[in-house]
Amino acid sequence: MRFELLHVDRDTGARAGRLHTPHGIVHTPVFMPVGTHGTVRALTPEEVESTGAEIILANTFHLSLRPGGALIRRAGGLHAFMHWARPILTDSGGYQVFSLPHLRRVTDEGVVFRSPIDGDEVSFTPERVMEIEEELGADIVMPLDVCLGYPAPDAEAALALRRTLLWARRAKAAHRRQDQALFGIVQGGFAPERRRQAADDLVALDFPGYAVGGLSVGEPKPMTYDLLSAVTERLPEARPRYLMGVGAPPSLVEGVGRGVDMFDCVMPTRIGRTGMALTAAGPLSLRRSSHAEDLRPIEAGCPCPACGDYTRAYLRHLFKAGEMLGPRLVSLHNLAFMGRLAAEMRGAICEDRFGPWSRATLARYGDGVGRGNRPDAAEPSGTLNGSEA
């Protein structure tokens, strides 16, 4: 994998670039739709691609438990298995493991837990996770890490950070497939000094890309952005930066302004399935009775099929009648919205107008019809690493 930094916005830290992967080019900043189980929920790969998505995320934890890495390897890898020919990033599943109610044992060696599917005892070590990720065959792979909630006691944060770094080293040593890029994950809790130290230690290991994990897990937004800035300032300019589990439109804009290149979140598809549509003026609940006779599209001018072919009244009818086409169409619209948002950001960066563009965009979004229904509210800590399970 090769990262090509094309342009840095003159007045902000926003960057435009290109990730060259074995399955094609990804233009950054990029939003990566989440397909936890090897499918972006409710959509075909062709539909996902039609939204402008150039890379998707899948989850090693979920896929290793079902259907298993060995089957996916025999099927020709995850790309062939799920019929997606473009780049894939697999998360390690660290976040999911540390969210389990039946976590059995965490040691320096790794974690032992009970499978939520069949109750079997499963062991994850940095080496085992790399092995599964090699079976899946994604273009970008994440190492096993220790995830914290907010707030985290200092001793716990220190221990988690020490293990995350230890595991990053072991993952790097175990990493073999040269067609897969192993990123490092900056953890470190909620103290800026520890985050900076974590970034420095990780950078010393020399990864081809760096993720920021453990943010947007319940801490106040200003703290998120301060910690993010503290980290990105320490990361090498020539490597891509990935803010894990963050996907609300305002958070994307704020993250890009702080030099982040990649994002993922289940939010657009998750809220889409409930009838909440993203628009430039903020989210719109299609279940509201005010849309019962509304013959307008979700968003005028949006080129997605949900907006081109259907009215709000029809979409509302689908949701009221419990028809699957509703979740499909609004998921599709929301990913198209995220695709357009990322494309707009790239354009603004390349033309050195990201600052004014982002202020106007954030103001419009906040003033929208959806006030009180901002997707931030629909992005609980549970979506941090993008699990839909």
Residues 6+ away with beta carbon under 8 Å from 222:
none
Measuring CA to CA, which residue among 328, 29, 208, 219 is closest to residue 188?
Answer: 219
**How far is 244 from 107, CA to CA, in rounded Å?**
24
User: Residue 276 in 3-state DSSP?
Assistant: strand
Instruction: Give yes or no for a contact between 105 and 156, defined as CB atoms under 8 angstroms apart.
Output: no
One of 8, 203, 313, 350 touching a second copy (CB under 8 A) = 313
59 versus 251: smaller Cβ distance to a second copy: 59
Cα→Cα distances 187→196, 197, 213, 262, Å: 10, 10, 5, 17
116 versus 218: smaller Cβ distance to a second copy: 116
Examine residue 38 and tell whether it contacts a second copy (CB under 8 A): yes
Minimum CB–partner distance for residue 308 and a second copy (Å):
9
Examine residue 293 and tell whether it contacts a second copy (CB under 8 A): yes
Examine residue 44 and tell whether it contacts a second copy (CB under 8 A): yes
Cα→Cα distances 240→33, 182, 211, 219, 243, Å: 18, 12, 8, 25, 10
One of 206, 309, 351, 367 touching a second copy (CB under 8 A) = 309
One of 37, 79, 195, 239 touching a second copy (CB under 8 A) = 37
Examine residue 327 and tell whether it contacts a second copy (CB under 8 A): yes
Q: 9, 91, 139, 201: which one is catalytic?
A: 91
Q: Phi first, then psi: give them for residue 364, nearest 5 degrees.
A: -65, -40
User: Residue 284 in 3-state DSSP?
Assistant: strand
Q: 11, 118, 264, 352: which one is catalytic?
A: 264
**Piece of the chain touching a second copy by CB under 8 A; list 43-51, 124-132, 147-155, 231-239:** 43-51
One of 82, 141, 165, 186 touching a second copy (CB under 8 A) = 82
Strand partners, 59: 91
Please name the residue that has the structure tokens 């109750």: 119
75 versus 377: smaller Cβ distance to a second copy: 75
Examine residue 295 and tell whether it contacts a second copy (CB under 8 A): yes
Measuring CA to CA, which residue among 73, 82, 76, 77 is closest to residue 38?
Answer: 82
- The tokens for 308 are 């081109």
| Active-site residue flag, 261 | no
Examine residue 305 and tell whether it contacts a second copy (CB under 8 A): yes
Examine residue 23 and tell whether it contacts a second copy (CB under 8 A): no
One of 50, 274, 311, 381 touching a second copy (CB under 8 A) = 311
C-alpha dihedral sign at 362, 364, 370, 372 = positive
**Piece of the chain touching a second copy by CB under 8 A; list 61-69, 96-104, 252-260, 355-363:** 61-69
| Active-site residue flag, 206 | no
One of 317, 343, 353, 376 touching a second copy (CB under 8 A) = 317
Instruction: Give yes or no for a contact between 354 and 11, defined as CB atoms under 8 angstroms apart.
Output: yes
**Piece of the chain touching a second copy by CB under 8 A; list 13-21, 59-67, 105-113, 374-382:** 59-67
User: Residue 251 in 3-state DSSP?
Assistant: helix
Neighbours of 360 (CB within 10 A): 12
One of 7, 22, 23, 39 touching a second copy (CB under 8 A) = 39
Instruction: Give yes or no for a contact between 205 and 169, defined as CB atoms under 8 angstroms apart.
Output: yes
29 versus 327: smaller Cβ distance to a second copy: 327
| Residue 248: burial class (beta carbons within 10 Å; 0-12, 13-18, 19+) | buried
**Piece of the chain touching a second copy by CB under 8 A; list 49-57, 63-71, 170-178, 221-229:** 63-71
The C-alpha R_g of the chain, in whole angstroms, comes to: 20
Residues that bind a second copy (CB under 8 A): 37-39, 41-45, 62, 66-67, 71, 74-75, 81-83, 292-293, 295, 305, 309-311, 313-314, 316-318, 320-321, 323-325, 327-328
Active-site residues, by number, are 91, 264
